[in-house]
Amino acid sequence: MKSDVILTHEFVEFIPDVLEENRLYISLAYGTAVHKCFCGCGREVVTPLSPTDWHLTFDGRTVSLFPSIGSWNSPCRSHYWIKKNRAHWAPQWTEAQIAAGRRHDAQTKKRYLDAQEDGIPDEVAPPAISSATERSLWDTIKVWFR
């Protein structure tokens, strides 16, 4: 298995046009984290931050994303976890595992959207994030992690 990758993170409003290797760009204003695939293939990996997609944890020094990231549509088919500013490699999935994961994700999104339409409050979802022009980055981060 490949060695873990040590990464840095950067909170930005807008994702830059040119991404640096081993850097995770996080836009709270747009609920998105983006990086170049840690395998070195150069592909851009976009992870939307939402109640039904990825969850970001910032402990004041490092970031973690949950769940794992699988680049199933890329030739490299990389699979890794981002925990405390490290990419930890995970086993690749079979086609059956990928299909099951996609079905699970679709079901989770449907249940969430159905609950929202029914007016069921979402206790675990982070509040909407204002643009950085309306509040400071630190205020935005504090709101996100309440």
pLDDT tens for each residue of 46-105: 999 999 999 999 999 999 999 999 999 999 999 999 999 999 999 999 999 999 999 999
With cut-offs at 50, 70 and 90, classify the pLDDT of residue 118.
Answer: confident
Separation CA 55–CA 50 (nearest Å): 7
- For tokens 């930005």, the residue is 12
Higher pLDDT, 135 or 60: 60
Pairing of β 8-11 and β 44-48: unpaired
Lowest mean pLDDT among 28-42, 63-77, 83-97, 108-122: 108-122
Beta bridge partner(s), residue 69? 80
**What does each C-alpha distance from 83 to 6, 64, 104, 139 come to in angstroms?**
10, 4, 23, 23
**What does each C-alpha distance from 14 to 53, 68, 132 come to in angstroms?**
20, 23, 10
For residues 11-37, average pLDDT: 97
- Under DSSP, is residue 65 helix (H, G, I), strand (E, B) or coil? strand
- Residue 83, judged by CB atoms within 10 A of its CB (0-12, 13-18, 19+), counts as middle
pLDDT at 123: 52
- Under DSSP, is residue 19 helix (H, G, I), strand (E, B) or coil? coil
